[in-house]
Amino acid sequence: MIIDAHRAFSAARGLALAVLVLGIWALVMLAMPFVGPAGRQVAVVGGGQAAARAIVAAGGQIVEVRRGAVLARSAARDFPRRLYAAGAPLVIEGRIAAGCFAKAGA
């Protein structure tokens, strides 16, 4: 009985640690577009056409279309804020996020 309780506690602690690490990673991915230098690549997550419209409206350039996200960049320092104002549902750091989304047509 004691061994089972210890295993359950260890599993719960491991799960809590995994959730904490993933939460911190998500916060970093969300914050990176705002703290990086101008011209940095970002990923606009969402439908391709809606993301492309938001990128163009925000004054950015499309770098690559991926399945589930569009990679973009702009020389404007406030590009991530402008993307959200143009209707982008989610903007995350682009270089790291590029590995999370398959290339379109792949």
pLDDT tens digits, one per residue of 25-52: 888 888 888 887 888 899 999 888 999 9
Q: Of 69, 62, 72, which Cα lies nearest the Cα of 102? A: 69
What domain count does the chain have?
1
Q: What integer pLDDT is reported at residue 2 of this predicted model?
A: 61
- Structural domain including 59 reads 2-100
Residue 105 lies in a domain: no
Residue 57 lies in a domain: yes
Q: What integer pLDDT is reported at residue 9 of this predicted model?
A: 75
Residue 106 lies in a domain: no
- Which residues have CB under 8 Å from 91's CB, separation 6+? 30, 33, 42, 43, 44, 45, 80, 83, 84
Structure tokens at 88: 């982008």
Question: Per mean pLDDT, which range of 12-21, 75-84, 94-103 is the poorest?
Answer: 94-103
